[in-house]
Amino acid sequence: MKILLMASSAREHAVAEALVKSRSKPEIIAICSTKNPGIANIATEMHVQSIMDFPKILEIAKQSKPDFAFIGPDDPIGGGLVDALETIDVPSVAPKKNLARIESSKGFARNLLQKYDIHASPRFKIFDSAERKELSIFMEQESRGNFVVKYDALKGGKGVKVSGEHLQTIEEGIEYAIACIEECGQVVIEEKLIGVEFSLMSFVSGTKVVDMPAIQDHKRAFVGDTGPNTGGMGTYSDADHSLPFLQKKDLDRAKEINRLTAEALERECGEPFKGILYGGFMAVKDGVRLIEFNARFGDPEVLNVLPLLETDFVDICQTIIDENLSEDLVRFAHKATVCKYIAPEGYPMNKDQRGQTVSLPVIPSNARLYYGDVSRMDDGKLLLGGSRTAGIVGIEDTIADAEKIAQSLCEKVKGPVRFRRDIGTEKFVKKRVEFMRSLRTY
């Protein structure tokens, strides 16, 4: 068996590791934007090139004749690579371009939920013209000055700006909204929610949905959830596959929203969504709200869930393609995980550490290390890129014990790097639990 893997980061290192564990013993043909050392150690064949050069990708696929493709990053999914591969009879574990709008267009996602009566959105409005008065009315009156402005296209996770954080005044919000409209044609403005965020990823094949353990991600660069947003500085999951601050009804509702959305996508688009549906949620005072969807694995979230997968990942991928997905094929170990990302000291603001040497520790059996933006030289030295370097995951019976493993390993990394020491600590998790308790009883 041959599998074509479209890759760019630690996320696909984790995917490659899970694929090669299969009893099918697949050969991995990797197409990567950079030469990821982890994927290079696993892949039978590796091509370093643009993951958006579809003609070249099709040429490689024609030569290698893969059984299927697994597409990790959002840009080729949103750009229609699945559709392109289908023209040469290569199926993919990822949705077609039309279905991938669930991630690539915030407006499409909100309208879909509204049309099919999936009551999971905050108050929102979509604007396609720069009417300052209308923008002001929504931000000031309908959202009571608490609003979120969302660029309505893929922008590498940098298209969302929040009042009180990125936007200090309504006028700043209006200016950003107008800039979004001028760039991509429309903008989504939403009521700002108060609560605690969490992620729920699901394997999806049409209307068949199988959920993974819930995860909490931490986007802020620095300790205490301060600093600019990043791709994610770390994540944790609990042994019961829920999270300490969630009630059972919260997780059940998130699962229901993912399922209803998969069904709505098939009805709306006339064809099945095949791949990973990632729901980014917020637990609020009176339930759960949907923040956004992704049409792929999250990074770091996948670094937590795939090491726990006890069943054959290739089998799961094949049943997604064949529309035979069932819960019997998916089983996760009841272990807690904590992932901490190592990043250059200047990340995400500057790239000053690019090209400097970093040394990573030997990883024990109750942990994992997944390479991100790092390159290995011929002499074995690892050099930093400008983005996140590597995700280190501790796996144990409790979040606290998993955190201790991840923390200990991160402290052994040598080089001009940093990581968030607070992610997964008892104090930090307890703070989330107490906040949700006070919010629900307020």
- pLDDT tens figures, 154-194: 776 667 888 878 788 888 888 888 888 888 888 888 989 99
DSSP 8-state assignment for residue 245: T
Ranges for all domains in the chain classified under CATH 3.40.50.20: 2-96
Q: What percent of the chain has pLDDT over 70?
A: 99
Ranges for all domains in the chain classified under CATH 3.30.470.20: 196-429
Do you find a cis peptide bond into 348, omega within 30 degrees of 0?
yes
Cross-strand pairs, 189: 125, 149
Residues 357 and 42: their CA atoms lie apart, in Å, by 23
H helices of 106-227, where?
A: 106-115, 132-137, 170-184
Question: Which CA distances in Å does 114 have to 15, 247, 254?
Answer: 34, 25, 16
pLDDT above 90 for 254: yes
Which pLDDT score is estimated for 300?
A: 98
Q: What is the mean pLDDT of residues 102-106?
A: 94
CA 267-306-375 angle, 5° bins? 110
Residues 83 and 42: their CA atoms lie apart, in Å, by 27
Which pLDDT score is estimated for 184?
A: 81
Domain 123-191 has CATH 2.30.42.10: no
Could you report the per-residue pLDDT of 411-429, keeping only the tens digit for each?
A: 999 999 999 999 999 999 9
Cα 183 to chain centroid distance, Å, stands at 24
pLDDT above 90 for 152: no
Residue 243's pLDDT band (cuts 50, 70, 90): very high
Name 58's Cβ contacts closer than 8 Å, sequence gap at least 6.
Answer: 84, 85, 87, 88
The one-letter amino acid at 271? E
398: its two tokens? 């409790």
Cα 366 to chain centroid distance, Å, stands at 23
pLDDT above 80 for 145: no
Which pLDDT score is estimated for 70?
A: 99
pLDDT above 80 for 133: no
Q: In what order do the strands lie in the sheet with 274-284?
A: 208-211, 196-205, 274-284, 287-294
Residues 49 and 182: their CA atoms lie apart, in Å, by 31
Let me know: does 423 contact 304? Beta carbons within 8 Å.
Answer: no
- What phi, psi does 89 have (nearest 5°)? 65, 35
pLDDT above 80 for 131: no
Which pLDDT score is estimated for 229?
A: 87
Could you report the per-residue pLDDT of 327-380, keeping only the tens digit for each?
A: 999 999 999 999 999 999 999 988 788 999 999 999 999 999 999 999 999 999
The one-letter amino acid at 442? Y
8 or 210: which leads in pLDDT = 210
Residue 213's pLDDT band (cuts 50, 70, 90): very high
Residue 103's pLDDT band (cuts 50, 70, 90): very high
Q: Three-state SS for 375?
A: strand
The one-letter amino acid at 238? D
Which pLDDT score is estimated for 159?
A: 77
Which pLDDT score is estimated for 169?
A: 84
Residues 140 and 138: their CA atoms lie apart, in Å, by 6
Q: What is the mean pLDDT of residues 289-313?
A: 98
Which pLDDT score is estimated for 130?
A: 67
Let me know: does 44 contact 19? Beta carbons within 8 Å.
Answer: no
Which pLDDT score is estimated for 179?
A: 86
> Which region among 114-118, 170-174, 264-268 has the lowest average model confidence (pLDDT)?
170-174
Q: What is the mean pLDDT of residues 32-53?
A: 97
Q: Three-state SS for 431?
A: helix
400: its two tokens? 């606290």
Q: What is the mean pLDDT of residues 61-69?
A: 98
pLDDT above 80 for 395: yes
Q: Three-state SS for 191?
A: strand
- What phi, psi does 251 have (nearest 5°)? -65, -40
CATH of 196-429 given 2.60.40.680, 3.30.470.20, 3.40.50.12780, 3.40.640.10: 3.30.470.20
pLDDT above 70 for 261: yes
Q: Three-state SS for 176?
A: helix
Residues 314 and 16: their CA atoms lie apart, in Å, by 10
Task: Tell whether the torsion through CA atoms of 12, 13, 14 and 20 is positive or negative.
Answer: positive
Which pLDDT score is estimated for 143?
A: 65
Question: Which CA distances in Å does 381 have to 24, 25, 32?
Answer: 33, 30, 20
Residues 335 and 313: their CA atoms lie apart, in Å, by 18
Ranges for all domains in the chain classified under CATH 3.30.1490.20: 123-191
Q: What is the mean pLDDT of residues 74-93?
A: 98
Residue 293's pLDDT band (cuts 50, 70, 90): very high
> Average pLDDT over the chain, rounded to whole?
95
Residue 8's pLDDT band (cuts 50, 70, 90): confident
Give the fold, CATH level 3, of 2-96. Answer: Rossmann fold (3.40.50)
